[in-house]
Structure 1
Amino acid sequence: MSTTGRVLVVDDDGAIRTVVREALRRAGHIVETAASVAEQRRLFQSFEPEVLVTDVVLPDGNGLDIIPEMLASKPGLPVIVLSAQNTFTTALRATEQGAFDYLPKPFDLGALTRAVSDALAARAASGASDSVGPVEELPLIGRSPPMQEVYRTIARVVANDLTVLVLGESGTGKELVARAIHDFGPRAAAPFVAVNMAAIPRELIESELFGHERGAFTGAASRNAGRFEQAQGGTLFLDEIGDMPMEAQTRLLRVLQAGEFTTVGGSRAIRADVRIIAATHKDLPRLIADGAFREDLYYRINVVPIRLPSLRQRGEDIGELARYFLDRAAADGLPRKLLDAGAVDRLMRHAWPGNVRELENLMRRLAALSRDELITANVIEQQFDGGPQPDGAPPVMGAGGLAEAVEMHLTRYFASFGRDLPPDGLYDRVLAEFERPLLQLSLAAARGNQLRAARLLGINRNTLRKKLTELQIDAGTGRRSD
């Protein structure tokens, strides 16, 4: 099938019309342009386009609203939507209205040319998609190019049952993406069931996923429905699937292949009417190479991958996200706060090892603790430095306390090696790094009194002396003896 044809371009910006027209003509297409809905309707009848490229905001109407009319007149017409309103709901609505593709402004001319060629090649099979219901605002915030790719992929998969694998660092919002796919898809009225593989003991995973019969094992006093059964008709979100033990992977693969499962201790096959969305922050190909993840299961769950950008990769979204989290905190009853330009600039210069989750925690903490309504760069700086906090509160390490601070430090450490692993012996090195400042600060707090420091630490004096020797800490000064 030919990949050149008649293309109608609709945009109220004359410069965009000219640039797009010339780029498409160089690619071999016949192109007409329009600046309004009225002009689009007139040319649609006389020109009979094979592809429609339209902006959303036009002087006399909305480009999305006119799509059903165009499709009713010419079924199967591929429509490519261009929009500066680069939100998840715009991408989703474009797909709902039957658009073939969605390109956020500013767009790459090469990408548009390829989209037009793809649309012409697929026009016989294209058509209006079924509506998935009214659009509601979701906490998928951001207009950066990496998020636009996420929105486009979500919009394309919501209406079908393809298995999705959401990839990304911890704290990037993988469960939010899974919920968006469920809530805007045909299974929205059925349950969304999330299970974290990393949080379930290995010996209980099969029972947790598939349920068990009474007497199946010691302590099984009654029948219990597993997560597959609880999610029947809906969506099962398998978070941190990279932490699933090998034996459970084998059972899951059989379920995905056969479309049915049995409970632990049961014999009756139960049809698995669920959509599977999996997620992980781990490198699954590396786990496969290490023999820790089944390659055949990987191909089963990786039908449609969605890779979420880290917050540092979408820095232009930080201000919008921060204001959103402050608004949500106010809606939850916390004092309303505002960010000045300096505060947003300081937020954008932070590394964000904890990603969006770290930003949300920080905004809620500021909403609760900051005395002034306007949050400045100085207040943000104090939070990052661990210095004096608003209202004279003691330093706060984060909503997760010490564990969160350690995780943030280790996240930076691992990131510094890229795709490589740190040198072996990490466990002992981390413990030594943690122990040294703990012992030094405890000795200082006890004014060098080893008995008092040992009592503070909850260890005996001999153990403390041994640790001081091992870590080469001067018992009198609390400093390293070398």
Structure 2
Amino acid sequence: MSKGTILVADDDRGIRTVLDQALGRVGYQVRSAGTAAALWRWVSDGEGDLVITDVVMPDENGLDLLPRIKKLRPDLPIIVMSAQNTLLTAVKATERGAYEYLPKPFDIRQLINVVDRALSLPKLPRAAVVEPEGEKLPLIGRSSAMQDIYRILARLMATDLTVMIAGESGTGKELVARALHDYGKRKGGPFVAVNMAAIPRELIESELFGHEKGAFTGATTRSAGRFEQAEAGTLFLDEIGDMPLEAQTRLLRVLQQGEYTTVGGRVPLKTDVRIIAATNRDLRQLINQGLFREDLFYRLNVVPIRLPPLRERSEDIPDLVRHFLSRAVEEGLPSKTIAPDAMDYLKRYRWPGNVRELENLVRRLTALYSEEVIDLTIVENELAEPLPSQSRTEPESDESLNSAVERHLSRYFEAHGGKLPPAGLYDRVLREIERPLISLSLGATRGNQIRAAQLLGLNRNTLRKKIRDLEIPVIRGLK
């Protein structure tokens, strides 16, 4: 007995044959065609229980056909498959009513599972969403890791769910947050980003929630906070792990009750914002250390998204390089190409600074070198860190870095007879660590501040300011 009829549209005869055989073996009847017109004719005649369609076909783009199908038969599940494995393809497929999006190549067992699931669930029509304008890609990459992220993002676009983005520095956490906003239902509202690590701890509550006139010394006028600025839009809280506990408590109340009070204010203010948080730290470890509230973590971690480091998706590097080269030309820099052996080197490099490091390298190559083709020698000279096979092993140590730092810091507390040390401990300790770290980095790069900034993962201007503030001597003649 047939489990149902599947309508397949793909201009590739081989794919049609594979799907026909695979779906037939598990009990489905299959009708397949190589054009969108044939698919539309079958749908118009009321045939089929489910549609599987490609995007690029000789007579019409499959995505353009979706709205007509959903208008005529809103309960008909549609699975979109495509070799155009970009975030926009996934978003458009979801926005136009697709039940699922599968990037090619896909596992046939995965497809069968999706078909079974689609036909077993209640068929509910999906609300139409206005299509985003333009074709500028917010995220780049066709690797399987990025495809998983695209599918998650596409499903989240029409929701207000709170999202927690985890990933190393430079992996593109803010780009993901912006994509969720720009292609979501709040795209007409503001997108407000705030970096917790960049704000003095004593000012974070005022920065987030605003303050009233006279709330503290220097508060000469009322000031709107980031929540007020992001009303009806999205608030992106970057480096959430650096938020002080007091501010965490106030943020938890916002998430629980949908209201807050300004610093110095007494009247609760209602708020309507979508929260997206991001971190490059292990929040569960911070919870165990008493530095992050567990209840806040669960409020923020409704939908967790892990961004892979660039070394885990090295197959995306050529696409990323081409994208950054193109952007450089748009900014007035000369056109360049990367030699094949140099591209292979880039794919094998570890990229401690992730996509941000790659982007900075491409900008540097286009700006500093006159050669039209960037060869392997140039790339090797520009990348300070050697490949894993060439790198030296780390020196062995009898104790971990954490233990050594903890032992050093304990002297601050032991030296005061059980009393707390003077205020300003955080800045003093940070200065102790930053000065030798920057000095060693400058020494390792022979005073080259561009390479030292790359090694540290800092902006070059930030490094210059730290060198000046910390009074670190530099080698003359190098920048």
- The normalised TM-score by structure 2 is 0.80
Question: Partner letter of residue 177 of structure 1?
Answer: V
Offset of residue 160 of structure 1 = 1.9
Unaligned 5+ segments in structure 1 are 388-408, 443-456, 460-482
Q: Match of 1:68?
A: 67
Q: Match of 1:328?
A: 327
SS at match of 2:130: coil
1:421 and 1:60 map into 2 onto residues whose CA distance is: 63
SS at match of 1:8: strand
Counting only pairs closer than 5 Å after superposition, residues 336-351 of structure 1 correspond to structure 2 as 336-351=335-350
Q: Match of 1:153?
A: 152
1:137 and 1:438 map into 2 onto residues whose CA distance is: 38
Larger Rg: 1
Offset of residue 437 of structure 1 = 9.3
1:440 and 1:380 map into 2 onto residues whose CA distance is: 18
Counting only pairs closer than 5 Å after superposition, residues 25-424 of structure 1 correspond to structure 2 as 25-45=24-44, 48-385=47-384, 424=403
Q: Check conservation: 1:337, 1:367, Cα contact below 8 A.
A: yes
Question: Partner letter of residue 201 of structure 1?
Answer: P
Offset of residue 366 of structure 1 = 0.8
2:383 and 2:45 map into 1 onto residues whose CA distance is: 62
Unaligned 5+ segments in structure 2 are 409-431, 447-469, 473-479
Offset of residue 132 of structure 1 = 4.2
Q: Match of 1:425?
A: 404
Q: Check conservation: 2:92, 2:131, Cα contact below 8 A.
A: no
2:124 and 2:229 map into 1 onto residues whose CA distance is: 36
Range moving further from structure 2, 140-149 or 118-127: 118-127
> In 2 relative to 1, CA 303–290 (structure 1 residues): closer, same or farther, beyond 3 Å?
same
1:75 and 1:179 map into 2 onto residues whose CA distance is: 30
Question: Partner letter of residue 202 of structure 1?
Answer: R
1:4 and 1:227 map into 2 onto residues whose CA distance is: 54
Question: Partner letter of residue 213 of structure 1?
Answer: E
SS at match of 2:64: coil
> In 2 relative to 1, CA 36–435 (structure 1 residues): closer, same or farther, beyond 3 Å?
closer
Q: Check conservation: 1:4, 1:117, Cα contact below 8 A.
A: no
1:121 and 1:339 map into 2 onto residues whose CA distance is: 50
CA deviations 1:389-423 (Å, max 9, x no partner) are xxxxxxxxxxxxxxxxxxxx9xx98xx99xx9755
Question: Partner letter of residue 44 of structure 1?
Answer: V
CA deviations 1:250-275 (Å, max 9, x no partner) are 11010011111110110122111111
> In 2 relative to 1, CA 437–277 (structure 1 residues): closer, same or farther, beyond 3 Å?
closer
Q: Check conservation: 1:190, 1:234, Cα contact below 8 A.
A: yes
> In 2 relative to 1, CA 436–99 (structure 1 residues): closer, same or farther, beyond 3 Å?
closer
CA deviations 1:403-454 (Å, max 9, x no partner) are xxxxxx9xx98xx99xx97552158798888878989999xxxxxxxxxxxx
Offset of residue 43 of structure 1 = 3.1
- The normalised TM-score by structure 1 is 0.79
1:40 and 1:255 map into 2 onto residues whose CA distance is: 49
Aligned CA RMSD, in angstroms, stands at 3.1
Question: Partner letter of residue 317 of structure 2?
Answer: I
Q: Check conservation: 1:240, 1:278, Cα contact below 8 A.
A: yes
CA deviations 1:50-94 (Å, max 9, x no partner) are 221111111222111111121122112211100001111111111
Q: Check conservation: 1:166, 1:174, Cα contact below 8 A.
A: yes
Q: Check conservation: 1:6, 1:31, Cα contact below 8 A.
A: yes
Q: Check conservation: 2:87, 2:138, Cα contact below 8 A.
A: no
